[in-house]
């Protein structure tokens, strides 16, 4: 059966969305059937990255119980130049929708958790998808914790920012561990000089691992090319030879065996 992967972080701007998109593209490139969902209802962004205007229904509607998931998913396969399948579920970026999603009560969130949990059946079993990648909102948000509870694997993205590292450490102890989730950490945007020699690289891995007491799945350097692209490129598709793409493909392999 396929797996649900939630990509989460303590702080915003760690690179969750870019990694989620490229991870999905990496799986699709390998011939896998993959679906990526935008569960960041506070600041939706997948519509912009994929340059999709949305369909009649959004993920908001699915969680509201207004439609089934098939009505929400858009087929991005023709644009992803891949051997597999790539489906996208968008969050509604309109201000009214953001306001609506921020005012949901606990009962609604409980039902939303049930709807997310049922995706395992509808997407992984019935539609036979290999991976469901959930891009989430940073911190302790209902939608993010719902995704974490539904996920088989949680990938936490952190930068070297001290507040980010400390927050991530707290979430490991007070969130992921409490739900007994398979969790791994990705250190992103690490200055290149930290990784310039094997000795430096080893000491960086050791330092992060000692802090987090969890496996560090990958340390990704900070690439000006990635920043320069401004979230308009899917590196795995557009620049497959770029080091960033190689890193993402290695992460995809590691998740398969995690």
Partner 1 sequence: MSKTLGKNPAVLLEKIKESLDRLNEKMEVFIELQKNERKQDFVVQDLPEALDVMTLLSLPDHLRKTAVTICKLGRATAEEVAEQTKRARAVESGYLNQLVLMGYLKKERKGRKAYFFVEK
For residue 230 the two structure tokens come to 């401004």
Residues that bind partner 1 (CB under 8 A): 105-107, 109-111, 113-114, 117, 142, 145-146, 149, 174-175, 178-180
Q: CB count, 10 Å around CB of 222? A: 16
Closest to partner 1 by CB, 105 vs 241, is 105
Torsion from C-alpha of 65, 69, 72, 74, nearest 10 degrees: 170
Q: Which is nearer to partner 1, 79 or 141 (CB)?
A: 141
CB of 62 to partner 1, least distance (A): 15
Cβ proximity to partner 1: between 106 and 228 the closer is 106
- Compare residues 116 and 195 and give the one whose CB is closer to partner 1: 116
Is the Cβ of residue 31 or residue 65 nearer to partner 1 in the bound state?
Answer: 65
Q: Which residues, other chains included, contact 179 with Cβ-Cβ below 8 Å and sequence gap of 6+?
A: 148, 149
Its sign, for the CA torsion 82, 250, 5, 225, is negative
Non-local CB neighbours of 230 within 8 Å, separated by 6+ positions? none
Cβ neighbours of 62 (radius 10 Å):
23
CB of 134 to partner 1, least distance (A): 14
Closest approach of partner 1 to the CB of residue 146, in Å: 6
* Least distance in angstroms from the C-beta of 127 to partner 1: 19
We find the least distance from the C-beta atom of residue 60 to partner 1, in angstroms, to be 18
Neighbours of 242 (CB within 10 A): 17
Name the minimum Å distance from CB 5 to partner 1.
17
74 Cβ partners below 8 Å, 6+ apart? 50, 52, 54, 55, 87, 88, 89, 90
CA distance 74 to 38: 12
For residue 220 the two structure tokens come to 């990704």
Shortest Cβ distance from residue 105 to partner 1 (Å)?
8
Which residue, 110 or 192, is less far from partner 1 as judged by CB?
A: 110
- Which lies closer to partner 1 via its Cβ, residue 84 or residue 167? 167
Count CA atoms within 13 Å of residue 255 on its CB side.
31
């Amino acid at each position: 059966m396929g797996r649900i992967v939630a990509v989460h972080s303590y702080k915003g701007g760690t690179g969750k969305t870019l990694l989620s998109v490229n991870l999905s593209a990496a799986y699709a490139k390998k011939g896998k059937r993959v679906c990526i969902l935008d569960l960041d209802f506070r600041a939706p962004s997948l519509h912009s990255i994929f340059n999709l205007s949305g369909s009649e229904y959004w993920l908001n509607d699915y969680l509201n119980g207004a439609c089934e998931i098939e009505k929400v998913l858009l087929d991005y396969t023709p644009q992803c130049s891949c051997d597999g399948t790539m489906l996208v579920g968008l969050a509604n970026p309109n201000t009214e929708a953001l306001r609506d999603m921020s005012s949901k009560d606990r009962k609604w969130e409980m039902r939303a958790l049930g709807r997310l949990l049922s995706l395992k059946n509808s997407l992984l079993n019935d539609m036979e998808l290999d991976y469901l990648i959930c891009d989430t909102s940073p911190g302790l948000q209902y939608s993010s914790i719902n995704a974490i509870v539904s996920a088989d694997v949680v990938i936490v993205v952190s930068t070297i920012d001290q507040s980010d590292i400390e927050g991530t450490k707290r979430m490991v102890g007070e969130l992921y561990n409490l739900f007994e989730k398979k969790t791994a950490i990705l250190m992103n945007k690490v200055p290149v000089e930290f990784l310039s020699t094997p000795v430096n690289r080893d000491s960086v891995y050791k330092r992060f691992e000692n802090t987090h007491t969890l496996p560090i799945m990958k340390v990704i350097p900070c690439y000006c090319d990635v920043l320069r692209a401004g979230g308009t490129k899917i590196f795995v598709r557009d620049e497959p030879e770029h080091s960033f793409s190689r890193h993402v493909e290695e992460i995809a392999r590691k998740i398969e065996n995690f």
